[in-house]
Structure 1
Amino acid sequence: MGRSFHPADESSFIPGMFQQRLRQSESRWHPATSATKELAMTQQVTKSKKDRDGDITGLCGAAWSHTKSQAVTNIGADRWAYSVLAAGQTTYVRVGTRNGKDYLTTNADSTGRNNLDNLPDC
Protein backbone atom coordinates (compact mmCIF):
# COMPACT_ATOMS: atom_id res chain seq x y z
CA MET A 1 0.00 0.00 0.00
CA GLY A 2 2.93 2.33 0.30
CA ARG A 3 1.61 4.29 3.27
CA SER A 4 1.70 3.24 6.89
CA PHE A 5 -1.54 3.71 8.81
CA HIS A 6 -2.23 4.41 12.45
CA PRO A 7 -5.66 3.94 14.05
CA ALA A 8 -6.09 7.68 14.46
CA ASP A 9 -5.68 8.16 10.68
CA GLU A 10 -8.12 5.42 9.75
CA SER A 11 -11.22 6.36 11.68
CA SER A 12 -12.42 8.76 9.00
CA PHE A 13 -12.71 6.15 6.25
CA ILE A 14 -13.31 2.75 7.79
CA PRO A 15 -16.66 1.06 8.38
CA GLY A 16 -18.47 1.55 11.66
CA MET A 17 -17.57 -1.76 13.25
CA PHE A 18 -13.89 -0.97 12.93
CA GLN A 19 -14.37 2.59 14.20
CA GLN A 20 -16.11 1.21 17.27
CA ARG A 21 -13.23 -1.16 17.95
CA LEU A 22 -10.72 1.65 17.62
CA ARG A 23 -12.68 3.83 20.02
CA GLN A 24 -12.99 0.97 22.52
CA SER A 25 -9.25 0.51 22.75
CA GLU A 26 -6.57 1.75 20.40
CA SER A 27 -4.16 -0.59 22.13
CA ARG A 28 -6.08 -3.52 20.62
CA TRP A 29 -5.74 -2.20 17.06
CA HIS A 30 -4.33 -4.73 14.65
CA PRO A 31 -3.92 -4.60 10.88
CA ALA A 32 -6.19 -7.63 10.50
CA THR A 33 -9.12 -5.50 11.69
CA SER A 34 -8.18 -2.45 9.65
CA ALA A 35 -9.93 -1.14 6.56
CA THR A 36 -7.75 -3.36 4.39
CA LYS A 37 -9.45 -6.51 5.67
CA GLU A 38 -11.97 -7.79 3.18
CA LEU A 39 -15.41 -8.52 4.51
CA ALA A 40 -17.40 -11.44 3.18
CA MET A 41 -20.39 -9.24 2.40
CA THR A 42 -22.05 -5.94 3.14
CA GLN A 43 -25.80 -6.22 3.55
CA GLN A 44 -27.82 -3.15 2.62
CA VAL A 45 -30.45 -2.49 5.30
CA THR A 46 -33.73 -1.12 3.95
CA LYS A 47 -36.02 -1.76 6.93
CA SER A 48 -35.75 -2.41 10.66
CA LYS A 49 -37.76 -4.35 13.22
CA LYS A 50 -38.69 -2.46 16.36
CA ASP A 51 -40.33 -3.48 19.62
CA ARG A 52 -43.04 -1.50 21.46
CA ASP A 53 -40.39 0.69 23.05
CA GLY A 54 -38.87 1.51 19.67
CA ASP A 55 -35.73 -0.58 20.29
CA ILE A 56 -34.24 -2.17 17.17
CA THR A 57 -34.84 -5.94 17.26
CA GLY A 58 -33.83 -6.84 13.71
CA LEU A 59 -32.60 -5.70 10.33
CA CYS A 60 -34.08 -6.47 6.90
CA GLY A 61 -32.98 -6.11 3.31
CA ALA A 62 -34.26 -7.05 -0.12
CA ALA A 63 -34.19 -10.82 0.40
CA TRP A 64 -32.98 -11.33 3.96
CA SER A 65 -33.89 -10.69 7.59
CA HIS A 66 -31.58 -10.92 10.62
CA THR A 67 -32.49 -10.69 14.27
CA LYS A 68 -30.61 -8.25 16.48
CA SER A 69 -28.71 -11.19 17.95
CA GLN A 70 -27.67 -12.43 14.50
CA ALA A 71 -26.58 -8.94 13.43
CA VAL A 72 -24.58 -8.37 16.63
CA THR A 73 -22.84 -11.73 16.14
CA ASN A 74 -22.16 -11.07 12.44
CA ILE A 75 -20.71 -7.63 13.13
CA GLY A 76 -18.63 -8.88 16.06
CA ALA A 77 -17.20 -11.74 14.02
CA ASP A 78 -16.59 -9.50 10.97
CA ARG A 79 -18.77 -11.84 8.89
CA TRP A 80 -20.91 -9.06 7.51
CA ALA A 81 -21.14 -5.34 7.62
CA TYR A 82 -24.55 -3.69 7.40
CA SER A 83 -25.06 -0.39 5.63
CA VAL A 84 -27.96 2.00 5.21
CA LEU A 85 -28.29 4.22 2.14
CA ALA A 86 -30.59 7.23 2.44
CA ALA A 87 -30.50 10.78 1.15
CA GLY A 88 -27.52 9.83 -1.00
CA GLN A 89 -25.38 8.92 2.00
CA THR A 90 -24.23 5.51 3.19
CA THR A 91 -23.63 4.85 6.84
CA TYR A 92 -22.71 1.64 8.61
CA VAL A 93 -24.52 -0.15 11.40
CA ARG A 94 -22.48 -0.67 14.54
CA VAL A 95 -23.00 -2.33 17.89
CA GLY A 96 -23.17 -0.17 20.99
CA THR A 97 -23.53 -1.20 24.62
CA ARG A 98 -25.79 0.49 27.15
CA ASN A 99 -26.31 -0.80 30.68
CA GLY A 100 -24.52 -4.01 29.72
CA LYS A 101 -26.81 -4.73 26.75
CA ASP A 102 -25.92 -4.59 23.06
CA TYR A 103 -27.91 -2.40 20.70
CA LEU A 104 -27.72 -1.63 16.98
CA THR A 105 -27.22 1.90 15.72
CA THR A 106 -25.76 3.77 12.76
CA ASN A 107 -22.80 6.10 12.76
CA ALA A 108 -23.70 9.73 13.24
CA ASP A 109 -23.74 11.83 10.10
CA SER A 110 -25.49 14.85 8.63
CA THR A 111 -28.87 13.17 8.02
CA GLY A 112 -31.32 11.32 10.23
CA ARG A 113 -32.99 9.57 7.31
CA ASN A 114 -30.50 6.72 7.46
CA ASN A 115 -31.01 6.07 11.17
CA LEU A 116 -32.38 2.62 11.94
CA ASP A 117 -35.25 4.19 13.92
CA ASN A 118 -36.39 6.09 10.83
CA LEU A 119 -36.46 3.13 8.43
CA PRO A 120 -39.78 1.47 7.57
CA ASP A 121 -40.75 -1.56 9.64
CA CYS A 122 -39.87 -5.01 8.35
Structure 2
Amino acid sequence: MTAPTAGGILAATDAMRSDQQTYTREQVAYLMHLAYDSGRTARYVGDLAELHAGWARHPIQRPTAEQRYAERMAEMTAAAGQVNAELGRPAGYRYDGGPVQWEPEVKG
Protein backbone atom coordinates (compact mmCIF):
# COMPACT_ATOMS: atom_id res chain seq x y z
CA MET A 1 0.00 0.00 0.00
CA THR A 2 1.22 3.49 -0.74
CA ALA A 3 1.75 6.19 1.85
CA PRO A 4 -1.42 7.93 3.01
CA THR A 5 -2.25 11.13 1.17
CA ALA A 6 -4.12 14.15 2.49
CA GLY A 7 -7.01 13.43 0.11
CA GLY A 8 -7.16 9.80 1.16
CA ILE A 9 -7.21 10.71 4.84
CA LEU A 10 -9.99 13.24 4.27
CA ALA A 11 -11.98 10.69 2.25
CA ALA A 12 -11.56 8.10 5.02
CA THR A 13 -12.67 10.65 7.61
CA ASP A 14 -15.73 11.55 5.56
CA ALA A 15 -16.59 7.86 5.09
CA MET A 16 -16.39 7.23 8.83
CA ARG A 17 -18.67 10.20 9.58
CA SER A 18 -21.27 9.15 7.03
CA ASP A 19 -24.21 6.85 7.66
CA GLN A 20 -22.40 4.07 5.84
CA GLN A 21 -22.65 0.91 8.00
CA THR A 22 -20.38 -1.37 6.03
CA TYR A 23 -17.02 -0.73 4.44
CA THR A 24 -15.32 -2.27 1.47
CA ARG A 25 -12.24 -4.41 1.89
CA GLU A 26 -10.13 -1.57 0.46
CA GLN A 27 -11.59 0.97 2.89
CA VAL A 28 -10.90 -1.29 5.88
CA ALA A 29 -7.35 -1.92 4.67
CA TYR A 30 -6.79 1.80 4.22
CA LEU A 31 -8.17 2.61 7.69
CA MET A 32 -5.98 -0.07 9.24
CA HIS A 33 -2.98 1.33 7.44
CA LEU A 34 -3.79 4.82 8.71
CA ALA A 35 -4.15 3.54 12.28
CA TYR A 36 -0.85 1.65 12.06
CA ASP A 37 0.97 4.63 10.56
CA SER A 38 -0.50 6.95 13.17
CA GLY A 39 0.57 4.67 16.02
CA ARG A 40 4.03 4.23 14.62
CA THR A 41 4.47 7.99 14.23
CA ALA A 42 3.18 8.61 17.76
CA ARG A 43 5.61 6.03 19.16
CA TYR A 44 8.51 7.59 17.27
CA VAL A 45 7.64 11.06 18.54
CA GLY A 46 7.28 9.67 22.07
CA ASP A 47 10.70 8.02 21.87
CA LEU A 48 12.26 11.27 20.69
CA ALA A 49 10.59 13.20 23.51
CA GLU A 50 11.90 10.68 26.04
CA LEU A 51 15.40 10.92 24.58
CA HIS A 52 15.43 14.71 24.74
CA ALA A 53 14.00 14.67 28.28
CA GLY A 54 16.81 12.33 29.32
CA TRP A 55 19.38 14.66 27.84
CA ALA A 56 17.79 17.60 29.63
CA ARG A 57 17.82 15.75 32.99
CA HIS A 58 21.44 14.71 32.63
CA PRO A 59 23.28 17.44 30.75
CA ILE A 60 26.53 15.94 29.57
CA GLN A 61 28.98 17.94 27.57
CA ARG A 62 29.07 16.06 24.30
CA PRO A 63 32.13 16.61 22.10
CA THR A 64 31.67 18.45 18.84
CA ALA A 65 32.72 16.97 15.53
CA GLU A 66 35.86 19.13 15.63
CA GLN A 67 36.74 17.84 19.11
CA ARG A 68 36.21 14.23 18.05
CA TYR A 69 38.38 14.83 14.98
CA ALA A 70 41.15 16.39 17.11
CA GLU A 71 41.02 13.43 19.53
CA ARG A 72 41.29 10.95 16.67
CA MET A 73 44.19 12.83 15.09
CA ALA A 74 45.98 12.86 18.46
CA GLU A 75 45.49 9.09 18.73
CA MET A 76 46.92 8.56 15.23
CA THR A 77 49.87 10.87 15.96
CA ALA A 78 50.63 8.92 19.15
CA ALA A 79 50.40 5.62 17.24
CA ALA A 80 52.73 6.96 14.55
CA GLY A 81 55.22 8.02 17.25
CA GLN A 82 55.13 4.53 18.73
CA VAL A 83 55.74 2.92 15.33
CA ASN A 84 58.62 5.34 14.65
CA ALA A 85 60.18 4.48 18.02
CA GLU A 86 59.87 0.75 17.32
CA LEU A 87 61.53 1.22 13.92
CA GLY A 88 64.32 3.37 15.37
CA ARG A 89 63.28 6.53 13.58
CA PRO A 90 63.81 9.94 15.18
CA ALA A 91 60.94 11.50 17.15
CA GLY A 92 58.59 13.40 14.87
CA TYR A 93 59.70 11.48 11.75
CA ARG A 94 57.29 11.86 8.90
CA TYR A 95 57.51 10.33 5.45
CA ASP A 96 56.31 12.88 2.91
CA GLY A 97 56.79 10.85 -0.23
CA GLY A 98 59.62 10.39 -2.67
CA PRO A 99 61.92 7.47 -3.35
CA VAL A 100 62.22 4.77 -0.71
CA GLN A 101 65.40 2.86 -0.03
CA TRP A 102 64.13 -0.66 0.41
CA GLU A 103 67.49 -2.37 0.94
CA PRO A 104 69.76 -1.04 3.68
CA GLU A 105 73.19 0.14 2.63
CA VAL A 106 75.99 -2.12 3.75
CA LYS A 107 78.73 -0.09 5.41
CA GLY A 108 82.22 -1.32 5.83
TM above 0.5, one fold?
A: no
Q: Identify the TM-score tier after normalising by the shorter chain.
A: under 0.3
Larger strand proportion of the pair = 1
What is the TM-score with the length of structure 1 in the denominator? 0.18
Relative contact order, higher structure (CA 8 A, sep 6+)? 1
TM-score scaled by length of structure 2: 0.20
* Structure with the greater alpha carbon radius of gyration: 2
